[in-house]
Amino acid sequence: MPRCLALLISLVVIAEPLSAQGGPSKKQIRQAVNSGVHYLQGQQRINGKWLAEESGDDPRSHRGAVNRRSDTKAHRGAVTSLCVLALLKSGCTTDDRFLKNSLKYLASIESNSTYSISLQTIALAQADPKQYRDIIARNIALLNKTQILLNKTRIISESQVASLGVSEDYLQEAKAKEKKEARWRLDHYRKDRAKRDLKFKKVIIVDDGLATGSTMRAAIRTVRAEEAKEIIMAVPVAPPDTLEKIKKEVDHAVCLSTPPDFYAVGQFYEHFDQTADEEVISLLRQDTAKQQK
């Protein structure tokens, strides 16, 4: 049984309304959820992690170089956060010993990717927003309040900064860190490629999905600042409220699905590995070589 199947059962099946005809009974749904909970509990390690956190989400995957950024080590706490959300959704309370164990682990780590930080934030906020306020504030500062691009676009939610007590020093530190990372990627991704010119052009911005929409919003404003004639956004999935806000910032928006029970983009993918920098650079170089022929 794939490691995340039980999670999907807990997150999706219990939330779906029963069909009028031919749908599963409440008893069948409860049994499926209980089976998923039992599976997750059996996979938890003594330290609070889940087995997939240590060995990779799918042991049958052939993508698996140990040092790749797509490995679960590049998303510390992500699998555990998903499992916590599944258990909470299934009806387990924070008094449950499995949840206590995993929440203790999540509170002890500093997640190391946008994906894992997002999931850690959702899991802790769902469990006990007051108890984990400081961690949530730290993560929110990285995710929602500061979006740094090389054109100096900065997207900040001032109300959340005030309500969570995030200091300007912390914001400046996060800004410097993200700007350094963005500069490194710009230098390596665009190496040997001609400077782009978007003026008077139609631009399609594609992403694997929207959550808060902050990354897409920053991309839209960057493209708009470069005087694009028309901006089209295309994503496979997004929460309804986020999509409605983003629609106002583009000329056209295409989204295939807007499920109301939305936690994270990754819940809609069987595999949601982070693309390694090396793979991106390789693909861009191949494209550059084709254009030069």
Instruction: Quickly tell me which residue has 């995340």 as its tokens.
Output: 4
Whether the pLDDT of residue 74 is over 70: the answer is no
The reported pLDDT for the residue numbered 261 is: 81
The reported pLDDT for the residue numbered 270 is: 82
Find, among 218, 206, 157, the residue nearest to 182 by Cα: 218
The confidence band for 251, taking pLDDT boundaries of 50, 70 and 90, is very high
For the residues 132-144, what does the mean pLDDT come to?
79
Query: How many CB atoms neighbour CB 269 within 10 A?
Result: 14
Query: Could you give the CA distance from residue 101 to residue 92 in angstroms, rounded to a whole number?
Result: 13
Instruction: Quickly tell me which residue has 């995710």 as its tokens.
Output: 143
The pTM of the full predicted model, rounded to 2 decimals, is 0.52
pLDDT tens for residues 151-191?
A: 445 555 555 555 555 566 766 777 777 778 778 888 888 87
Task: Find the DSSP H helices in the chain.
Answer: 5-12, 26-43, 51-55, 78-90, 97-108, 114-127, 133-140, 158-164, 168-189, 214-225, 240-247, 277-292
The reported pLDDT for the residue numbered 59 is: 36
pLDDT tens for residues 279-292?
A: 888 988 888 888 77
For the residues 230-252, what does the mean pLDDT come to?
95
Find, among 271, 236, 228, 278, the residue nearest to 253 by Cα: 236
The reported pLDDT for the residue numbered 232 is: 97
pLDDT tens for residues 112-130?
A: 677 788 889 889 988 998 8
Where are the chain's structural domains?
A: 1-58+69-131, 138-195, 196-277
User: What is the DSSP-derived secondary structure letter of residue 204?
Assistant: E
User: What is the DSSP-derived secondary structure letter of residue 194?
Assistant: P
Phi, psi of 33 (to 5 degrees): -65, -45
The string of DSSP codes covering 241-257 is: HHHHHHHTTSSEEEEEE
Q: Sort residue 48 into left (φ over 0), alpha (ψ -120 to 50) or beta.
A: left
Asked if residues 115 and 123 have their Cβ atoms less than 8 Å apart, the reply is: no
Asked if residues 183 and 208 have their Cβ atoms less than 8 Å apart, the reply is: no
Whether the pLDDT of residue 67 is over 50: the answer is no
Partners of residue 95 on adjacent β-strands:
none
Query: Could you give the CA distance from residue 74 to residue 278 in angstroms, rounded to a whole number?
Result: 14
Find, among 80, 75, 151, the residue nearest to 115 by Cα: 75
Query: Could you give the CA distance from residue 181 to residue 110 in angstroms, rounded to a whole number?
Result: 18
Q: Which CATH architecture has domain 196-277?
A: 3-Layer(aba) Sandwich (3.40)
